[in-house]
Amino acid sequence: MKNEYIPHPAVIESVQTESFDTKTFKIAFEKKALAESFDYKPGQFVQVSLLGVGEAPISIASCPGRKGFLELTIRAAGKLTRAIHQREPGDKIHLRGPYGNSFPFEEVAGKGLYFIAGGIGLPPLRGLIKSALYGRGNFGKIKILYGAKTPDELCFKEELKTWKQMDNTEVYLTVDEPNQSWQGDVGVVTKLWDKANMTTSDGIAYVCGPPIMIKFVVMNLLKSGFKDENIYITLERYMKCGIGKCGHCNIGEKFVCTDGPVFSYAQLKEFPDKEKTIT
Amino acid sequence: MTDTTDRIVLTTCPYCGCGCGLHLRSDDGMIIGSYPSKNHPVSKGALCVKGWNAYEFVNKADRLKVPLIKTNRAFREVSWDNALDTISRKLLEIKEKYGPDALGFLSSAKATNEENFLMMKLSRAVFNTNNVDHCARLCHASTVVGLASTFGSGAMTNSINEFEEADLFLITGSDTTEQHPLIGSRIINAVNDKSAGLIVVDPRRIELAKYATIYMTQNNGTDVAWINGMMNIIIKEDLYDKGYVEERVENFDELKKVVEEYTPEYVRKITGIPKDLLIQAARLYAKSKKAMIVYSMGITQHTTGVDNVQSLANLAMLTAHVGFASTGVNPLRGQNNVQGACDVGALPNVFSGYQKVTDDAVREKFRKLWKVDVLPSKPGLTVTEIIHRAHEGKLKGLYIMGENPVISDPDSNHVRESLEKLEFLAINEIFPSDTAQYADVILPAASFAEKDGTFTNTERRIQKIRKAIEPVGQAKPDWEILCEIAQRCGYKGMKYNHPSEIMDEIAELTPIYAGINYGRLEPFGLQWPCPSKDHPGTVYLHKGKFTKGKGTFMPCAYIAADELPDDEYDFVLSTGRIYWHWHTGTMTRRTSTLDREVPSGYVEINPADAEKLLVRNGDKVKVLSRRGQIETRAMVTTKVKEGSVFIPFHFSEAAANVLTNPAVDPVAKIPEYKICAVKVEKI
Amino acid sequence: MKEHLLKKDNVKALCIKASEQWETYVPAEVTGADVHFMRLNRNNKDSILEQLNLDYESLVVPPKVILYPQLESLFEFQDENITETVKPPVKKLLFGLRACDVKAILFMDEFFRRSFEDIYYLNKSRDKLLVIIGCKQPLDNCFCTSAKTGPFLETGFDLQLVDIGADYLVEIGSEKGEEFINSYREFFDEASKDNIEIAKIVKRDAEKAVSLKVDFEEAIKKFCEDKVPQQIYETIAERCIYCGGCLYVCPTCTCFNVFDTQSAGSGARYRNWDACVFGGYTREASGHNPRSEKWIRTSRRYEHKMKYDYLTTGMSGCVGCGRCLASCPVNIGISQIIEEVTES
């Protein structure tokens, strides 16, 4: 029987600063064989450990097409993530996974893909965005709506520019509090709705961000013609095991770590209101 | 068949004075669980969250395991011989050079009775000084003095299970559900299931207030006023027990004279309590047959702490609420063994059993058994005085057992300076605490799970703790350490094979413990007074007569607190405890569940005040007093009144005691933790 | 399968013999007269068996502690190198369980096997023999007949003993149970017709002796249809003192916390029992808490047992053992909620 709780040693290969409290870590497993064979799907997460400090779930932000490494975009919010931020390239870290379900991808070939993210909500979608852009021809229109509190807090600033250049791909950005040099839109991400022309009947939406943002985005998506079963939201919860045992991420009879973290709006509607999944 | 041992021992919870019976399970030398004892009279199959998680801190990786000596500001590991020799040598040197009173000994309300007894024996028999004290000074010193003068005995009069049969509770200065959960729960049950009445008097809206028949909130530090006010009404309306007062209590005329001034209107002016509420409360308390007064730090931790306690005692005697089942004056002792530490004499003015050091006959009795030439006759220094003396450079050496004065004493900056000025500091500890950082020698001590001994809980129940596993690393039980030091100082009278022998010695010297031995303590202990070997222990005190014969009314006039808010420091700061953590946090902040529930400190602030300061819930704020300042987070809540803030003292990085006022009660020498003036600024 | 007879006088000898092949746990009295399941080992088997108490009224903590201890090491580490601490599988004999606790163990077996296998639990639980000694004297808090979890079971056990006086009638519930009897044949006799008849009466009397009866099925229905008034949860949430006891003692509760401890690069990762009524149970690092209100956590606590476990497994998470009420300092128990829900 496999011991699911034992994490594997890995090394931080590089660190990229995204904003004042967010960094992207490129990590590779120490064991070459594991590094090469480690496979995952966009939407999944890994349990990241610093031995002696703790373990937390982090969504995989890299795209599975590129083997040998993972990218994790981490905001320094708690004890563990703050400690990870102190680490530098060459330092050791431990990972286990991948866990969770994934975004529907191959099944939505030919459809228009709509990504709506807020702040630290973009990294979980990034792997899917990049996979879609690599296989550009397989999908219809791709629209990315992304908002953050300040221009500094936008993740993947350079990549956003690259994505904008791609064929049949639109990128709309907005911030709550602009600075002097900000030229773009101001306001919450739903303000971009009309500009981005979000009306569709069979488009697939992927949403990730703070709970309050998800609530309003979903309202808009429904008004714009998106079907319940075509809206996908990735949920965040406090997790300890990642494998449906410790109980912390349970909602109703489901576990966010094994039945999710990706849920369709059709599924989320069935959850009890008091669990506040989309409020 | 396996070789590894799977054991369960019955022991006593190491946290609060409830003294719940707890089973520790160990497997292969590691503690793996703690469960309530079903048949134990206090726990009855239940525990609070701290007791349920008492297994965890024992295993923590940063337990002190090896003796340490500081050289050039860094600690290095040394052998036990080296460490013990160093301590003995340095303490003797200081005694030689500066005299015995240049030494101080801080005993521990967390350690066992046997260990506290040995600490005071070490201080007196070996080093010839009465400068031995412990943290009871900081919590119930007022109780010990106040109830001794009124009743003759400073302990909780009734027992925990008697709460279940009470008609009425008068709770003041005790956030019972937070601090003594298994007593708080009994109050909740009695009020909800048995229609017991509840009067809560507290400046903060404590949890129990939601069940209160009458909830009164008084201005901080005005307790003598409202208690005198209640007595004024009770006397005026002829609701007091004339027969009882005449037969059993003296000095009634003096009391009547003093409380005459405290009319409801006068009391309202001082305390803010509405007249009709006070009248209702007085009538309800007087008319209830089985009425229990319950109090804790809100009454004791004042410059008028003794007055506050005496006033409550007066009120209870006036209405014949002492010396009967489910009545009494019930100070809830905080630490697991603070009652015991007092009982066995880890106090500067008494030996065990509250026998005065100034009494020649008492001294002779101890001198003979301890086989020393002389014992010191002058009362020694209290904890607060020891720190001051150290600051003045007059106290040179200090030996601390299981206490953390840097976090628990008032005016932390002053404490830190004082410790730095010492020539020598040694400490027995289980974790590297803030105070341990100042030590010259640190000795790794065994935790409650790793030794035998006894604790005495708040209802005077002396009960055993039983060893579940061997001490981690090279740690030793405190009693063994103290014996080693005594021997190395040339004293031959501290050699014991087992703590039971120490208890036998305590029993020989201490009338209230005279009937105690380990055999008789099976399984759930005995309540003192237990004056002989066939005495079954005492459930409630002062039956028929007070410990000193007749009780004495000790009427007090209202005196305001030492430092009240002014234009610059415009908030009243009160400090205290919360349910999830314990005192300086050395154990609970190393317990995963408790640490997760409340990971960091905060300051409670009223919404109206928060709005004026533009502070929202969770915002970083600075709190400043004349002693120092701390940075912490705001918790906006209606639990505190406008103009008041509250900070729990468990968090060393936002230590409430950096701010507190070291002013003390003139007799009990207990600091005024409950009131000082602060200002709050948004960061 | 045939019934057998085990003389009460033979029980201790049987346990000692069996403990040579099986890691054997028996209920024994400890100081203070509480009963706990204790492991027989070389040093203490005699002293434990001296305190053997098969007639115990109830255990404060359920036998889940044997398979799923309150604190357990997941692994140790030294300078970033991990050493596994999970122990290899060992066959266990749990002798003297009550029916409700066996139901709970089967429930936990399924839980720890579901989706990902939990090696720590399964290594302990994989190869075990469950021997029930049915309750003769249920407590006031118990409602096993309402929850259909006792005082005797029809299936799910390996051996079930019925106390018929000087002996136990032994019912075989599985092949493993039959093998066990064969391996220790010298301790068992054949049961007579009289023995079997008496056993039937004993079982019937035990059922009648369960005084607390609740409409369990109706309660499950109400929970599944979300017909539980919020007021019930609010009242409980206000009275609760958040000790966690009801969840710690529940024989089907499995939630745990995970924490690391280290000093100078060396330490370990542990897991320990957790409780869903605590605020921090769902609080995220950002401070956001999807169950910030107390009544929501209380509702979760009861719905987990009476609704979600039922929907997932077909069996309610509550086995009617009454421990939650027994360990609650403020007298809250699931039986009361069931009564309130079915009365309203």
Q: CB distance C260–A238 less than 8 Å?
A: no
Helices (H), B111-174: 113-121, 136-139, 141-150
**Tens digit of each residue's pLDDT (9 = 90 or more) over A5-34:** 999 999 999 999 999 999 999 999 999 999
Chain C neighbours among A 6-35 (CB < 8 Å)?
A: 6-7, 9
Q: CB distance C263–B62 less than 8 Å?
A: yes
Q: Which residues of B touch C248 (CB under 8 A)?
A: 35, 52
Measured between CA atoms, the residue of chain C closest to residue B5 is C41
Q: CB distance C328–B46 less than 8 Å?
A: yes
- Whether C325 contacts C331, CB under 8 Å: yes
> Above pLDDT 90, what percent of chain A?
85
Measured between CA atoms, the residue of chain B closest to residue C274 is B593
Chain C neighbours among B 266-305 (CB < 8 Å)?
A: none
Q: Which residues of A touch C283 (CB under 8 A)?
A: 238
Q: CB distance C117–A52 less than 8 Å?
A: no
Domain annotation covers residue A3? no
Domain annotation covers residue A2? no
Tokens coding B225: 């006023």
Q: Which residues of C touch A247 (CB under 8 A)?
A: 254-256, 274, 276
The three-point CA angle A150-A154-A156 to 5° equals 160
Mean pLDDT (chain B) is: 96
Q: What are phi and psi of B442, to 5 degrees?
A: -115, 130
Q: Are residues A90 and A136 in the same domain?
A: no
Beta strands in B550-641 (DSSP E): 551-552, 571-576, 602-605, 620-624, 629-636
Q: Are residues A153 and A60 in the same domain?
A: no
Q: Which residues of C touch A211 (CB under 8 A)?
A: 288, 290
Q: CB distance C80–A240 less than 8 Å?
A: no
**Tens digit of each residue's pLDDT (9 = 90 or more) over C117-160:** 999 999 999 999 999 999 988 888 899 999 999 899 999 999 99
On whether any CB of chain C is under 8 Å from the CB of B514, the answer is: no
Longest CA span, chain A: 58
Domain annotation covers residue A78? yes
Which of C77, C258, C283 is opposite residue A246, by nearest beta carbon? C258
**Mean per-residue pLDDT for A58-81?**
93
Q: Are residues A135 and A25 in the same domain?
A: no
On whether any CB of chain C is under 8 Å from the CB of B2, the answer is: yes
DSSP-assigned states of every residue in chain A:
---TTPPEEEEEEEEEEEETTEEEEEEEESSHHHHHH----TT-EEEEEETTTEEEEEE--S-TTS-S-EEEEEE--SHHHHHHHT--TT-EEEEEEEES-----GGGTTS-EEEEEEGGGSHHHHHHHHHHHHTGGGSS-EEEEEEESSGGG-SSHHHHHHHHHSTTEEEEEEESS--TT--SEES-GGGGHHHHT---SS-EEEEES-HHHHHHHHHHHHHTT--GGGEEEE-----SSSSS-S-TTEETTEETTTT-SEEEHHHHTTS-GGG-S--
On whether any CB of chain C is under 8 Å from the CB of A166, the answer is: no
DSSP tag of C132: E
CATH number of the domain enclosing A35: 2.40.30.10
Domain annotation covers residue A64? yes
Domain count, chain A: 2
Q: How far apart are CA B519 and CA B48, in angstroms?
A: 29
| pLDDT for position C140 | 87
Q: Which residues of B touch C287 (CB under 8 A)?
A: 618
| pLDDT for position B182 | 98
DSSP tag of B116: H
Q: How far apart are CA B562 and CA B348, in angstroms?
A: 25
On whether any CB of chain A is under 8 Å from the CB of C314, the answer is: no
Q: Are residues A119 and A255 in the same domain?
A: yes
The three-point CA angle B218-B224-B226 to 5° equals 45
Q: How many angstroms away from the CA of C276 is the closest CA of chain A? A: 8
SS3 C198: helix
Domain annotation covers residue A24? yes
Q: Tell me which amino acid residue C153 is.
A: L
* Residue where a domain stops, chosen among A99, A116, A150: A99
Q: CB distance A7–C82 less than 8 Å?
A: yes
Q: CB distance A248–C274 less than 8 Å?
A: yes
CB atoms within 10 A of CB B237: 12
Closest CA to B105 of B96, B114, B116, B97: B116
**Mean per-residue pLDDT for B371-388?**
96
**Mean per-residue pLDDT for B480-492?**
97
Q: How far apart are CA B38 and CA A60, in angstroms?
A: 49
Q: Are residues A89 and A159 in the same domain?
A: no
Q: How far apart are CA B215 and CA A245, in angstroms?
A: 45
At residue C252, does pLDDT exceed 80? yes
| pLDDT for position C58 | 84
Measured between CA atoms, the residue of chain B closest to residue C38 is B6
Q: Which residues of B touch C32 (CB under 8 A)?
A: 10, 21, 23, 37-40, 523-524
Q: How many angstroms away from the CA of B209 is the closest CA of chain C? A: 12
Euclidean distance between the first and final Cα of chain B, in Å? Answer: 64
**Tens digit of each residue's pLDDT (9 = 90 or more) over B539-589:** 999 999 999 999 999 999 999 999 999 999 999 999 999 999 999 999 999
> Above pLDDT 90, what percent of chain B?
99
The three-point CA angle C278-C320-B181 to 5° equals 35
| pLDDT for position A67 | 85
| pLDDT for position B646 | 97
Closest CA to B678 of B649, B652, B645: B645
The three-point CA angle B26-B31-B32 to 5° equals 85
Closest CA to B351 of B326, B323, B380, B330: B380
On whether any CB of chain A is under 8 Å from the CB of C242, the answer is: no
CB atoms within 10 A of CB C177: 21
Q: Which residues of A touch C85 (CB under 8 A)?
A: none
Q: Are residues A73 and A167 in the same domain?
A: no
Q: How far apart are CA B58 and CA B26, in angstroms?
A: 11
Q: How many angstroms away from the CA of C264 is the closest CA of chain B? A: 9
Touching subunits for chain C (3+ Cβ pairs under 8 A): A, B
Touching subunits for chain A (3+ Cβ pairs under 8 A): C
| pLDDT for position B2 | 64
Q: How confident is the model at residue C33 (pLDDT cuts 50, 70, 90)?
A: confident
At residue B603, does pLDDT exceed 80? yes
- Whether B638 contacts B205, CB under 8 Å: yes
DSSP tag of B493: S
SS3 C219: helix
Which of B3, B52, B186 is opposite residue C42, by nearest beta carbon? B3
Q: Are residues A167 and A64 in the same domain?
A: no
Q: Which residues of C touch B20 (CB under 8 A)?
A: none
Closest CA to B229 of B277, B263, B275, B269: B263
Q: How many angstroms away from the CA of A27 is the closest CA of chain C? A: 16
Longest CA span, chain C: 69
At residue B347, does pLDDT exceed 90? yes
CA A205 to chain centre: 13
Chain C neighbours among B 26-85 (CB < 8 Å)?
A: 27, 30-40, 45-49, 52-53, 55-56, 59-62
Q: Is the peptide bond before C151 cis (omega within 30 degrees of 0)?
A: yes
Q: Are residues A171 and A265 in the same domain?
A: yes
Chain A neighbours among C 47-86 (CB < 8 Å)?
A: 74-75, 77, 80, 82, 84, 86
In sequence order, which residues have a C-beta less than 8 Å from that of residue A97 and are 6 or more positions away? A40, A44, A45, A46, A47, A60, A242
Which of C238, C239, C243 is opposite residue B46, by nearest beta carbon? C243
Q: Which residues of A touch C112 (CB under 8 A)?
A: 245
* Residue listed under structure tokens 């005492």: B538
Beta bridge partners of A233: A207, A263
- Three-state SS letters, B224-238: HHHHHHHHHHHHHCC
| pLDDT for position B493 | 96
Q: CB distance C285–A52 less than 8 Å?
A: no
Domain annotation covers residue A1? no
- Whether B116 contacts B346, CB under 8 Å: yes
CB atoms within 10 A of CB B375: 18
Q: Are residues A18 and A65 in the same domain?
A: yes
Measured between CA atoms, the residue of chain B closest to residue C279 is B597
**Mean per-residue pLDDT for B253-265?**
97
**Tens digit of each residue's pLDDT (9 = 90 or more) over C159-177:** 999 999 999 999 999 999 9
Q: Are residues A249 and A128 in the same domain?
A: yes
Q: Are residues A111 and A94 in the same domain?
A: no
Closest CA to C320 of C150, C121, C196, C93: C150
**Tens digit of each residue's pLDDT (9 = 90 or more) over A218-241:** 999 999 999 999 999 999 999 999
DSSP-assigned states of every residue in C138-192:
--TT--HHHHT--SS-SSS-SEEEEE-SSEEEEEE-SHHHHHHHHHTGGGEEEPP
* Residue where a domain stops, chosen among A51, A83, A99: A99
On whether any CB of chain A is under 8 Å from the CB of C141, the answer is: no
Q: What is the pTM of this model?
A: 0.96
In sequence order, which residues have a C-beta less than 8 Å from that of residue B412 and are 6 or more positions away? B406, B627, B628, B655, B657, B658
Q: CB distance A238–C254 less than 8 Å?
A: no
- C148-162 CB burial, b ≥16 within 10 A, e <16: bbbbbbeebbbbbbb
Domain annotation covers residue A31? yes
Q: How confident is the model at residue B1 (pLDDT cuts 50, 70, 90)?
A: low
| pLDDT for position C31 | 86
* Residue where a domain stops, chosen among A74, A99, A124: A99
DSSP tag of C304: I
Q: Are residues A27 and A91 in the same domain?
A: yes
Q: CB distance C257–B6 less than 8 Å?
A: no
Q: Which residues of A touch C120 (CB under 8 A)?
A: 5
Q: How far apart are CA C237 and CA C242, in angstroms?
A: 9
At residue C344, does pLDDT exceed 80? no
| pLDDT for position C1 | 62
On whether any CB of chain C is under 8 Å from the CB of A178, the answer is: no
Tokens coding B675: 């009131």
Domain that holds residue A28: 8-99
Closest CA to A219 of A259, A189, A195, A196: A189
